[in-house]
Amino acid sequence: MTKPKQIVELVSSAKSGLPIVQLGNIADAADRGEQVLREAGVEVYQYAGTLVRPIVETVMAANGHKTKIARLKPVEFTYLRDLLARHAIWQAFNIREKKWVQRDPPKEIAQTILARAGEWKFPVIVGVITTPTMRPDGTLLTEAGFDPATQLLLVGPPAMPPIPASPTMEDAKRALRKVEDLLFEFPFAEDEVSKAVWHCPRSSRRWPVGLTRSRRCTFAVLRVPAAAKATFGTSRPRLPSANRCR
C-alpha cells in the first residue's frame, strides 16, 4: 500500500512539469544539472572565467531621486544549488525501499559545476548594459536579455518609442527635435557658433560599413545624453547633430 507521503511526492513530481534527474555518476549528474538550467533559461552567464548573474539594484541619484543600476554578481555555491533544486526534481535510488525517492540536489553537483571553468556551456558575455545601443553592423539592440551578436546583456532598459529598422532623414530630424526640447535650458553661449554644434562624426571610419548617412545621424542623436560634454557658459559643448547629415 502506498503511504500518504509517497503519494504527495508522486503527485508533486507529476504536476510540477520539471525534469527529473536520477543520481548516479557525479559527472553525468553535473552535465544534466547544467543542461537543465540552460534549457530553463536561467540567467547564468560566463564572464572573465566566472559564472555570474545579473543583479538590478535601486540606488540614490541626484536631487533625492532614485535610479536603477545593473551589475554582475558571481554565482555562489549556495545559490547554484538553490537553482538546481528549483528547476529540476532530483532523485536517488533507495536500496532498502527499492525505488527512486526525491531528495535535494547533492552539494557535490553544485561544486562540480562551479569548478568546470573553461568547460561551461552557459552563454559568454562581455558586459552588462541598461540602455539600448547600436551593434557594429548598424542594427539596434533594444530587447532586454542576452544578445548573441554583441555578447552584451541588456537589463531593464527604459521604455522606448518605436524605432524604425531603416530610419529616414525625416525620422532623424524628428528625433533631433525631441532632443532639442530636452536641451532648451542648456547654457549655450549667446552666439550662433555655440548653437551650431550638432554635427555627425566627421569620419565614416567610426561607423559600420554600409551604415547609411541618415542612420549615422539618427545614432548621433540617440547618443546625445552620453556624448554631451560642456562646461557651464562655454561655447563649445560637444553635442552631435544632424546639421551636416544632408
Q: What is the largest distance, in Å, between two alpha-carbon atoms of the chain?
A: 92
pLDDT at 6 over 50: no
pLDDT of residue 68: 83
pLDDT of residue 105: 97
Condensed to tens digits (0 to 9), the pLDDT of residues 154-208 reads 998 888 888 887 788 998 888 888 877 877 777 766 656 665 664 444 444 444 4
- In Å, what is the CA distance from 241 to each residue of 137, 167, 211, 224? 21, 16, 17, 8
pLDDT of residue 101: 96
Tell me the pLDDT band of 7, cut-offs 50, 70 and 90: very low
Condensed to tens digits (0 to 9), the pLDDT of residues 99-116 reads 999 999 999 999 999 999
Residue 80 corresponds to which cell in the numbers above? Answer: 547554484
pLDDT at 67 over 50: yes
The DSSP secondary structure of 69-99, one letter per residue, reads: EEEEEEPPHHHHHHHHHHH-EEEEEETTTTE
Domains of the chain, by residue range, sit at 4-61+73-123, 125-160, 161-246
pLDDT at 8 over 90: no
pLDDT at 78 over 50: yes
- Whole-model pTM? 0.67
Select the more confidently predicted residue: 188 or 64.
Answer: 64
Condensed to tens digits (0 to 9), the pLDDT of residues 114-136 reads 999 999 999 999 999 988 998 99
pLDDT of residue 2: 45
pLDDT of residue 174: 86
- Other CB atoms within 10 Å distance of the CB of residue 81: 20
